[in-house]
Amino acid sequence: MTLPYTLTLVAQREAGLLTASMVEQARELVSGQPAVVLSEGEAVDIPCPAPAPGQPGLDATRASFMGQAVDVLLTRSRGRRKGLLVADMDSTIVSSETLDELATRAGVGEQVAAITRQSMNGEIDFAAALRERVKLLKKLSVTALEQTWAETKLTPGARTLVATMRAHNATTALVSGGFTWFTERVAAVCGFDIHHANQLGIQGGRLTGSVAEPILGREAKLESLRSLAGSRGLRLAATLAVGDGANDLDMLREAGVGIAFHAKPVVTDAIANRVDHADLRALLFAQGYRAADFSE
Spatial separation of the C-alpha atoms in residues 207 and 210, rounded to whole Å: 8
Q: Supply the range of the domain harboring residue 228.
A: 81-95+154-296
19 secondary structure, DSSP code: P
In a domain, 129, yes or no: no
* Residue 127 resides in a domain: no
Residues 33, 168 within the same domain: no
**Total tally of structural domains belonging to the chain:** 2
What is the reported pTM? 0.96
Count of C-beta atoms within a 10 Å radius of residue 124: 15
CATH number at residue 38: 3.30.70
Structure confidence at residue 1 (pLDDT): 63
Upper half-sphere CA count for residue 290 (Cβ side, 13 Å) = 7
Mean pLDDT, consecutive 10-residue stretches, the chain (296 aa), reads: 92 94 96 97 97 80 94 97 98 96 94 91 92 96 97 98 98 98 98 98 97 95 98 98 97 98 97 98 98 96
The answer to whether residues 179 and 38 belong to one domain is no
Residues 10 and 88 in one domain: no
How many other C-beta atoms are found inside a 10 Å radius of the C-beta of residue 100?
21
Q: Where are the beta strands (DSSP E) in 88-185?
A: 171-179
Do 9 and 90 reside in the same domain of the chain?
no
Residues 164, 73 share a domain = no
Judge if 67 and 161 occupy the same domain: no
Same domain as 172, residue 202: yes
Say if 131 falls within a structural domain: no
Which pLDDT score, from 0 to 100, does residue 35 have?
Answer: 98
Show which residues are catalytic: 88, 90
Q: Does any domain span residue 136?
A: no
Among 137, 94, 95, residue whose Cα is nearest residue 115: 137
Instruction: Give the pLDDT score at 261.
Output: 98
- CATH number of the structural domain spanning residue 176: 3.40.50.1000
Q: Tell me, what's the pLDDT at 238?
A: 98
Task: Among 78, 113, 130, identify where a domain stops.
Answer: 78
Instruction: Let me know whether 55 and 86 are in one domain.
Output: no
Q: Same domain, yes or no, for 85 and 229?
A: yes
DSSP 8-state secondary structure symbol assigned to residue 11: E
Taking the C-alpha atoms of residue 135 and residue 251, their distance in angstroms, rounded to an integer, is: 28
Q: Are residues 88 and 7 in the same domain?
A: no
- The whole-number pLDDT of residue 57 equals 80
Residue 46, strand partner residues: 7
Is position 198 within any domain?
A: yes
End-of-domain residue from the set 78, 106, 131:
78
DSSP state of 87: E
21 & 70 share domain? yes
d(CA 203, CA 79): 48
Residue that terminates a domain, selected from 14, 49, 78: 78
Q: Is residue 132 part of a domain?
A: no
In a domain, 264, yes or no: yes
CA–CA separation, 204 and 200 (whole Å)? 13
* Residue-wise pLDDT tens digits, 13-65: 999 899 999 999 999 999 999 999 999 999 999 999 998 777 778 889 999 99
Are 90 and 67 members of one domain? no
By CB atoms closer than 10 A (0-12, 13-18, 19+), residue 296 is exposed
Residue 161 domain-assigned (yes or no): yes
CA distance 88 to 80: 21
